[in-house]
Structure 1
């Protein structure tokens, strides 16, 4: 009797998670980051989608009619909450103003919004905007999904200027005051109930990008009044009056955390044990490694402004500013040792005691939630 060969068994390749489960060591992260290519980021987004779906009810157990009713109710509640937070959307305002404008027939018609600021030197804001734009270009060239918003700044004198208005935005402080007793994560969950995956993805990718900017530029005064949340879920940092070598309180340097990563930010990512948090960490490490390849592009922006400048951020002198900025890139370390250092920066930032106390100070003295 002729023997029949056994059927060939083929293993289906599995999509790897952003970071292995458990507490990742630098070696394990290094191995993972070597495997991840820009083309695979869409696959990695699935880790966020999987975790975000935990916030929604198990719709498979519901019949079709109930499922549609629940989805419709959730969408309506989210729309009402967003309108309460952000009000009329910018695109709707543009359409309304254009409809009433006698010049709307012209193709050059535009509606722009600016903030006029007096009694303040905006040259430092301009420098920060230029550096953020450089970071954004570096991340885009590398194919990394790290999101930054470089606002336009027009300096008209040493004490006056114009700042680009960020449409469809609200400070985290103002948003929390609209919902007393509610946390950022609770508000976020209701406001984006109909598009949770997209909003969390935007929140994580922008938070990771700004964490890198805050660390490299040593940006201080990071209270919730200086953190803006967009209707897309993106986070935008504003007010760069303290960076590089100056800090609030007469340069007392109370905020010594690499960047702000408090519990309310972690809760939006479903905590430290979630895959969303691991996605955040992976993005931050990938962004750091890419930024240090182009260190001179960042340092050049600062070096060009040093000569003869009296900006507060250069108060410690050119040599100190340049040397400390270059040191923060860890260019003297191997890639594996650099990853180890970045992991330490992240761990140091998580619920940093000084960051928490600074938020408490702003809440008690200035009423910033």
Structure 2
């Protein structure tokens, strides 16, 4: 990788006198100080840089070699003839490998680089893929250039779409009426992308309505972002309509410019899809995924020119036998991407002849275009016409002077917009880091976490060694922490959780057979003035005929005949309010996610008693830990200070678990309409490639297995008595109520999605008495052991769980049965959304739960489990039957015993 900066070039150095250049952090072993400098490697084997006094420093190199014990693949050593040893730090593995290759070739030390865990391709395969990618991107650039020559730009092909059949005209009218209705479901619009895969006119119209959703309710669009990307993975390389391809790529780019978090997520989703395509040698799919990565992330955050970082992200770092060839190839790649970037911008600039075109092409004027859509919608969803109503002879860039002139007649009333208010609302009182810095700093931080998790597993055989190494790893992470990194687990993090420090004395490395998840505590801060986005709170209504017309049509095309009644369950509230938890730490803006497999050795113990002397907690709660860390922190006075624990997980494809969490969010929305709330607690998971990911941490929770190990020979009811006092105490009754409501929620969730591997290591017990399920690697019929799996019950309902509720004849168990019935009825009324989300995600999916499955059969069985077409009385009988089949199932008990003997999970 050849850096493009020349400002640090030593005077008098000719370009042909150096073999490599770039930034390095140097540390001499006789000094603890480090300095980051721009270095030049001469063909003579010397390394030169300029110090702070503008004096040129020279280092004569004799040998260069990789630090095999470096957790982050970023460090290497240089030795001199005098015996001096210099430690060199780079920003990433690709950068390190580039320096090592250049040094070894210059010094004629052609040692083969050690293969990392992600180097599954041979050099020949890498080059074959790179050549196919170059050819594909060149073809796409040519297409974009030809399209940009037309006066209508991206809308060139749409001029022929006015001759529609009655079916398409009717669908267009229905979509327009739907967007103008009181409530809009973003899921329905996402399904429309799949429904209209062969109908370009309707596909682009649906994209335009999603653009409105991006502006008014970005969080709702973010929930279905994986499915929006999945459309491209499944259809972009087979799509016959050039206009659909252009509009789709432009849409991804426009979303990425409006949300750096979604750009980051697209970056990793596309990397995972590229690996899937490369493994089966599907070059067309590989090129499409790379084009999506370029559009959705790289071109969105780096709008001016292609960079070497962009080249590394798209093409990787293939091994070369000649450093000159490597430099030439890098320049070729960069020129290709730069040409693609500028031709794409030219096309979008040429296409600003209507409001949707302005939205797609907005770069510097994103806030102004967003305000125009907000004014059009006036706080509620409105239909956005996707095509120009007149052809403008000359396309003008939007400015404050000609903004009103760009508004086409009939699209917006003059009295809905005030330019001065727009400029005032989009101004910032506090400087905001450029998206390019946030993007690459975040990618760097997350990559470091993932590499650390990988190497804890690869380099150490037991948990004690891993934990012993953790402090030095955290110290290294803290020392090299990027300045503008965020934790991109949710859209809110883009404005709120900026990483300011790593707490080196906290965290742990978990020990499992296949991997070593690593938990790290981050100190985060908020901007003093958050970025003002033109978003308003818009309800997503799940019930009503308007929200189901696309869903039912899609399901019918899949061969699943539905007779779904749309009105909500009789006697149920239409309220959209979120039921409040009794635990304030469990609100939506608090961190939640996976289990703490084991506690740190230095966990503080605090026993808190109620007035009736019942035990509430026997260990330090997260709130207490947070207060302690804030008192100890030197950053505690920073505005919006917070502490966020995060787990990096490697050697595990997290995409299926991301999908399951989407389903859980969908279930939560379904249950919000009930008079008595049912508890489900989704947690944030993010895919960071094909075999790694990031997760938030379930605070104040431990697995039932760990709880039982800490209290030997005690059943779950005994543990509840120990924690909360006598069964008639206030604390016990509150914990019991939380347990019952969460048991009902997770019982339905496990039944509908056919979740397996439900041993006590995968079921958490929260401090408030709720249970929470984690680890969803087995869903929709797949299970450990395959066809010989022990687990056949609809869900896990052991005798001790029933006893916690009060027994079979108790009011508590009656409440559980009532909640299960009401919840199943609510799910049957929301079946279109559930089935549609499963249907579109299963399309050409690489998820283990869908690979090799008979999808139509899977969908029909899902329909049966959702009780579609049944009367309310039949649904209640079904719920009672499920309880009878699950209660203290012999096969469930056998599976628990198997897990006890094979993996040590207490039963």
Task: Give the TM-score, by structure 1 length.
Answer: 0.77
Corresponding residue number in structure 1 for 2:803 = 267
Corresponding residue number in structure 2 for 1:102 = 634
Match of 1:137 among 650, 665, 669: 669
CA distance in 2, matches of 1:304, 1:71: 50
| Alpha-carbon shift at residue 159 of structure 1 (Å) | 0.2
| Alpha-carbon shift at residue 129 of structure 1 (Å) | 0.5
| Alpha-carbon shift at residue 36 of structure 1 (Å) | 7.1
Match of 1:210 among 746, 770, 773: 746
1:314 matches 2:846: no
CA contact (8 A) 1:244 1:313 kept: yes
Match of 2:769 among 197, 210, 233: 233
More helix by share: 1
Say if 1:36 and 1:187 are closer, same or farther in 2 by CA, change over 3 A: farther
Corresponding residue number in structure 2 for 1:150 = 682
| Alpha-carbon shift at residue 73 of structure 1 (Å) | 6.7
1:247 matches 2:783: yes
CA distance in 2, matches of 1:265, 1:91: 28
CA contact (8 A) 1:122 1:161 kept: yes
CA contact (8 A) 2:572 2:673 kept: no
| Alpha-carbon shift at residue 145 of structure 1 (Å) | 1.2
Corresponding residue number in structure 2 for 1:89 = 621
| Alpha-carbon shift at residue 35 of structure 1 (Å) | 9.5
Say if 1:311 and 1:173 are closer, same or farther in 2 by CA, change over 3 A: same
CA distance in 2, matches of 1:101, 1:258: 48
CA distance in 2, matches of 1:71, 1:247: 43
CA contact (8 A) 2:764 2:773 kept: yes
| Alpha-carbon shift at residue 230 of structure 1 (Å) | 0.6
CA distance in 1, matches of 2:672, 2:838: 21
Shifted more, 289-298 versus 186-195: the winner is 186-195
CA distance in 2, matches of 1:343, 1:142: 19
Aligned-partner SS, 1:266: helix
1:186 matches 2:725: no
Corresponding residue number in structure 2 for 1:343 = 880
Shifted more, 332-341 versus 354-363: the winner is 332-341
CA contact (8 A) 1:38 1:144 kept: no
1:313-359 per-position Cα deviation (integer Å, ceiling 9, x unaligned): 11313223222111211213222122111111111111111111111
Corresponding residue number in structure 2 for 1:281 = 817
1:170-190 per-position Cα deviation (integer Å, ceiling 9, x unaligned): 000000111111111101112
Match of 1:357 among 885, 890, 894: 894
CA contact (8 A) 2:674 2:822 kept: no
CA contact (8 A) 1:127 1:301 kept: no
Corresponding residue number in structure 2 for 1:120 = 652
1:103-137 per-position Cα deviation (integer Å, ceiling 9, x unaligned): 22222322111111100000111011110011011
CA distance in 1, matches of 2:847, 2:788: 18
CA distance in 1, matches of 2:667, 2:716: 27
CA distance in 2, matches of 1:37, 1:292: 14
Say if 1:301 and 1:160 are closer, same or farther in 2 by CA, change over 3 A: same
1:197-226 per-position Cα deviation (integer Å, ceiling 9, x unaligned): 110000000000000000000000111111
CA distance in 2, matches of 1:152, 1:239: 12
CA contact (8 A) 2:790 2:894 kept: no
Number of positions where the alignment pairs a residue of Structure 1 with one of Structure 2: 299
In structure 1, the gaps of 5 or more residues are 1-33, 40-69
Say if 1:219 and 1:166 are closer, same or farther in 2 by CA, change over 3 A: same
Corresponding residue number in structure 1 for 2:860 = 323
1:177 matches 2:709: yes
Corresponding residue number in structure 1 for 2:870 = 333
In structure 2, the gaps of 5 or more residues are 1-568, 575-608
Match of 1:298 among 830, 834, 838: 834
Aligned-residue CA RMSD (Å): 2.0
Task: Give the TM-score, by structure 2 length.
Answer: 0.32
Say if 1:71 and 1:149 are closer, same or farther in 2 by CA, change over 3 A: closer
Larger RCO of the pair (alpha carbons < 8 Å, separation 6+): 1
